[in-house]
Structure 1
Amino acid sequence: MIDNEQPLSAADLIGRRLLKVTTAFHHYRDDAPSLQHLWLHLEGLGPVRCHTPSTGVSLLVDEPHGPYSMDECGSVTVVENASDVPVTRFVGQLVRSVREIRYDDGRVDFTAGLTLQFPDGGVRLLGLDDDLIIVLQDRQPGTGGGLT
C-alpha cells in the first residue's frame, strides 16, 4: 500500500486488478445528483481517488469518506459498487492501459481526463467544473466498437 494523500501518475494503475469501486454523489437541492469523487480500489495500491480539483482530474491514494450534509448545498452520499456507474462492470479485471486526456490551448495545460482500458472494454473519466463524468467504451479503439 502507498501512504494516503500521495499523488499518483496514470501509469501507476497499469497491471492492477480493480477490486471494487466507491462513489460520492453530490445531491444539490434543486438539481440532479452529480458524481463528485470516484475511488478505484486497486490491488497493491488500495483506494485511489479520482478527484476533480475544479478543472481536470487528479489521482490520489486516499480512503473514501462517509456521507455528509451541507446546509446550503445539499448532501453527499457514498456508495460501494453502485450498479449505475459504468466502471463497476470491470470489477475483478486488470487495468491494461491508462492514457491521459490533455487540454492545452497554449496558455493552460492540464489533465482533463483519463482513459482506462480493461480486457472487456474501457471508460473515460472526464473532469468538468468539479464534477466527474464517466463515458463507457464497450470495445478497444479500432475494433469497431463505439462509445455508449
Structure 2
Amino acid sequence: MTTFRLLAQTSRSARFAKVTVEVAASDRSDVEVTAAATDEHRREAELGARWALHRSPTEVRVTVTDVVTTDVDTGLGDVYEATARAVWQALSIEHPVPYVGFSDPEMIASWLKGAVGRRLDAVTEARHWSEGRREPDAASLLHAWLYFEGGMPVNLHGRGDQLLLAKEKPYRSTDLDEYGEIRVGPTRHPDVLSRFIGARLTDGAVILGHGGDTVSAGIVLRFEKGDLVIGTLGDEWVLAVGSVPSAAAHYWAVQPFVYGGGG
C-alpha cells in the first residue's frame, strides 16, 4: 500500500490531494477505484493511474483505495496527479516524466468551465533558438504556460496529435551547446499568444482529433476580442486566431462550447 500526498501553495492558489493505492502483479494492466469519493474524483483517480501505467515495465493491477480532498484546496487535476505519482512511487519508478498531463476531453472541458470569466494575465513560452534566431511562432514553440487570474499556471504540452494540460511552473532556459538553446520567457508581439494578454475568457471548446473521444487534440479559447485556437497535429503546434486552419480542419472536430458559445 502506497500513499502520495500532493501539497503545493503559491501566492495565486493552493493544491491538495492524498491518494492511496495498492499495486499487484497481474496478467494484464487494469485499474479499479474502490475509494469513497465523488464521481469526478473517482474518474480522475482512474485516469491518473492509467497515465502512470504507461511507464510500467510490467503488467500490474492498481486499486485506488483512498482519496482525500478538501473543498478549498483541491482543484481539477489534483487527484489525477496524486494518483499517478502514488503509482509511480509504488512501482519504484525513479525518473518519471517531470509533468503529469491530462488530455481527457471531460477533464479539459471542466478546466475550461473553471477558467471562463477569468482574465488571461500572462503567457510564458519556451522556444528553440539557434545562432540568435528562431523560427516563426508555432514552428519554434516548445511549450506554453497560461496564467489565468487567481489560478495556477497551466502548461500546454503537445505530444503527437494529443494536447496535454498540466499544472506546473515554467522550467528554466537551457543551453543546448551546438544544438542551440531553449529560451523561456514572456510571450512577445506579434506572436499569436501575445494578442490575448489582458482579455477575459468568455467560453471554450474541446477539439477532438485522431484519438476519437478519448483524448483532446486542442482547444478553442473564446475571449472578448475573438477566438484563439491551440492544438497539435503530427507533433507540430497549430496556433490560429479565429477559426481552425484548413490544414487541421480535416482531422479535427470542434466540440460544442462549454457555455453554448456566447461571447
Counterpart pick for 2:207 among 77, 87, 101: 101
Aligned mates of 2:152, 2:187 — CA distance in 1: 15
Are 1:110 and 2:110 an aligned pair?
no
Measured against aligned partners, the alpha-carbon deviations of 1:25-45 in whole angstroms (never above 9, x if no partner) come to 12368x835211111111121
Aligned mates of 1:101, 1:54 — CA distance in 2: 14
Counterpart pick for 2:175 among 47, 50, 69: 69
The count of aligned residue pairs is 137
Are 1:51 and 2:191 an aligned pair?
no
1:101 CA drift (Å): 0.8
RMSD after superposition? 2.9
1:72 CA drift (Å): 6.3
Q: Which has the higher helix share?
A: 2
Which structure is larger by alpha-carbon Rg, 1 or 2?
Answer: 2
CA 1:90–1:59: 2 relative to 1, 3 Å: same
Q: Which residue in the other structure is 2:140 paired with?
A: 34
Over 6 Å off, 4+ runs: none
Q: Which amino acid is 1:38 matched to?
A: A
User: Structure 2-normalised TM-score?
Assistant: 0.45
Are 1:120 and 2:120 an aligned pair?
no
What is the SS of the residue equivalent to 1:57?
strand
Aligned mates of 1:37, 1:129 — CA distance in 2: 15
User: Structure 1-normalised TM-score?
Assistant: 0.75
Gaps of 5+ in 2: 1-12, 16-77, 79-98, 244-263
- Greater relative CO, 1 or 2 (CA 8 Å, sep 6+): 1
Q: Which residue in the other structure is 1:21 paired with?
A: 123
Aligned mates of 2:165, 2:238 — CA distance in 1: 15
CA 1:83–1:109: 2 relative to 1, 3 Å: same
